[in-house]
Amino acid sequence: MKPLGKGYTDENGVYNCPITIPDCTKDIYIYSSNIGVPNLLKVQISGNEINAATDNNITKSARLLAKYTLPIHNGFKMYNTYLSSGCPNELTKIKINGKTLSAVNRAFNEGRPVNEAYSRITNINITEDAEIKLAFLDEECVNKNVLGYFCYKTNQKPTSATEIQDKIIAFPCATVDVLKCGEAIEMHYWENGIDKGTTFPAGTSIGWVLCSDGFNFQEKKG
C-alpha cells in the first residue's frame, strides 16, 4: 500500500503539506509510529481540508462507570480505586513536552532494536525526600497488562521476586483504550505492608512489576 503523502509536523504539531486525493476517496487514514499519539486515525474529508484531532480520545462510556475495588491477585496491593475499565479514579494530567517525547521515540524507535542498557537501568533511586507522579505515555500490546511497582531500601535491593514484600498496583489496565498520554497517578511509598503516603524518603528506591495480561475485572461482592 502506497501512502498519499508523508512527512513531519512542525514544532507545534501542525502538518501542512498538500497531497493529491482521488475524487472517489471518502475516508483518509493517518498513521504514525511515534509514541504519544494514536497510531492510526480515521478522518473524513471536509472540502479541501482533512482535520484530525490527536487527543487520543477515549469514549465516555469507558470512564463514567461506578467505582469498584479490583480483586487483589498475585500479591498486589492497592491504595487507589478504579473504574471497571481499569482507569484510576484519581488521575492528574501532566504535560509531556516535545523534547521528552522525541527522546522516548528515539530510544524506542519502531522497527529498530532497543539498547539493552534501557532494560538494565529502570529502577529509580531517591536521593532526597520527594513526591513522585507516574505518567502513562503509550503502549503497543494486545494484552491488558497490570503495571505495578515496589519500594525498597537502596542498599538492600531484592535479588529475587520472593524478596519483594509489597507489590503495588499503579495502572491495572495500562492500555491506550483506558488511558491518555500524560495521565498520571500520585505514587505512594509503602514499607512493611503499610501505606506511608506520597513522600518517598531519601535512600529508598522504586522497582517495577509487569503482570502480563493480568487485568481481570470482577465486581466486588458484599
Burial class (CB in 10 A: 0-12, 13-18, 19+), 195: middle
The pTM of this model reads 0.71
Q: How far apart are alpha carbons 135 and 183 in whole angstroms?
A: 5
Higher-confidence residue of 67 and 181: namely 181
User: What's 145-173 look like in SS3?
Assistant: CEEEEEEEECCCCCCCHHHCCCEEEEECC
Query: pLDDT digits over 111-163, tens only?
Result: 777 777 777 778 999 999 999 999 998 887 778 888 999 999 999 999 998 89
Q: Residue 196 corresponds to which cell in the numbers above?
A: 506511608
Q: Phi, psi at residue 206, to the nearest 5°?
A: -120, 130
Report residue 208 CA to chain centroid gap.
Answer: 14
Q: Half-sphere exposure (CA, 13 Å, Cβ side) for 196?
A: 16
Q: Which range in 15-29, 43-57, 157-171 is most confidently predicted, on average pLDDT? A: 157-171
Q: How far apart are alpha carbons 79 and 90 in whole angstroms?
A: 10
> Which residues are bridge partners to 130 per DSSP?
200
Q: Where are the alpha helices (DSSP H) in 74-163?
A: 98-107, 117-120
Q: How far apart are alpha carbons 41 and 25 in whole angstroms?
A: 16
pLDDT band at 65 (very low <50, low <70, confident <90, very high): very low
Q: What is the pLDDT of residue 21?
A: 73
Q: What is the pLDDT of residue 114?
A: 76
Query: pLDDT digits over 198-216, tens only?
Result: 999 999 999 999 888 888 6
H helix and E strand count, the chain: 2, 17
